[in-house]
Structure 1
Amino acid sequence: MAKLTLVFAVVLIALGLIGFIGTGSAHPTALIPAVLGLLLGIFGALAITPNEGRRKLFMHINVTLGLLGFLGTVMGLVQWFQMLAGAAVKNPPATESKAAMALICLIYVALCVRSFIAARRTRLV
């Protein structure tokens, strides 16, 4: 799961850079996904270790970051669905970026939880 975390980190960094460059480099808040991706990348790299305790610690930090990323952007996902239904939103590119980050973080957290459950089941057997 630690290597998959690095993939999600790269995706979030790319999302942040695309959002920042796509808005004419005028809105530094567009880099928030990149910052989250950088943190996931750092802790994901630290989780690649044979030490089980250390790996568990850093993966739990990563899933917490992913959950915080989702909770912080879930309203963007709601606004995106409203935008698709025809409602006007204040800043469509920001809404799309927040919705993308929310979906990426939700998928990441779901995969982490599934991995944690599988690891626990394996340990109990």
Structure 2
Amino acid sequence: MAKVTLFFAALFIAIGAIAFFSTGANHPTALIPAVLGVLLAIFGALSFSPDASRRKLFMHINVTLALLGFLGTAMGLIEWFRMLGGIAVKNPPATESKAAMALLSLLYVILCVRSFIAARKARLV
């Protein structure tokens, strides 16, 4: 799961960079996905450990960060669906960035939970 974490970290960094530069590098809040990506990359790299408890700790930190990322951007996802329906939104690029972050965060959380369940089942057998 650590490799998957690094992949998602790269996606978050890319979203943040694209959003930041597409706004003319005027809005530093567009880098929020990149900040999440950097944190995921740091803790994902730390989870490459032979020690199972250390690996578990850092992966739980990552899934918590991603869950917070989803909760913080869930309204952007709702706004994005409204935008797709033809309703005008205040800032379309920000809405798209938040929606992308929300979708990726949710997907990452789902993958982590599935991995945690599989690890627990394997441990019980």
TM-score, normalising length from structure 1? 0.99
Distance in 2 separating the partners of 1:11 and 1:100 = 10
Distance in 2 separating the partners of 1:55 and 1:2 = 9
Question: % of aligned pairs identical?
Answer: 74
Q: Which residue of 2 aligns with 1:104?
A: 104
Which residue type is aligned with residue 5 of structure 1? Answer: T
Instruction: For residue 3 of structure 1, report the CA deviation from its aligned partner.
Output: 1.1
Residues 97-119 of structure 1: CA deviation (Å, up to 9, x unaligned): 00000000000000000000000
CA RMSD, 1 decimal: 0.3
Distance in 2 separating the partners of 1:14 and 1:82 = 24
Q: Which residue of 2 aligns with 1:30?
A: 30
Distance in 2 separating the partners of 1:87 and 1:60 = 38
Instruction: For residue 65 of structure 1, report the CA deviation from its aligned partner.
Output: 0.2
TM-score, normalising length from structure 2? 0.99
Q: Which residue of 1 aligns with 2:79?
A: 79
Which residue type is aligned with residue 60 of structure 1? Answer: H
Which sections of structure 1, spanning at least 5 residues, go unmatched?
none
Ranges of 4+ aligned residues in structure 1 off by more than 6 Å: none
Distance in 1 separating the partners of 2:33 and 2:94 = 11
Which residue type is aligned with residue 73 of structure 1? Answer: T
Which sections of structure 2, spanning at least 5 residues, go unmatched?
none
Q: Which residue of 1 aligns with 2:10?
A: 10
Distance in 2 separating the partners of 1:114 and 1:95 = 29
How many residue pairs were aligned?
Answer: 125
Distance in 2 separating the partners of 1:14 and 1:90 = 23
Distance in 2 separating the partners of 1:113 and 1:122 = 14
Which residue type is aligned with residue 122 of structure 1? Answer: A
Residues 27-63 of structure 1: CA deviation (Å, up to 9, x unaligned): 0000000000000000000000000000000000000
Q: Which residue of 2 aligns with 1:42?
A: 42
Q: Which residue of 2 aligns with 1:64?
A: 64
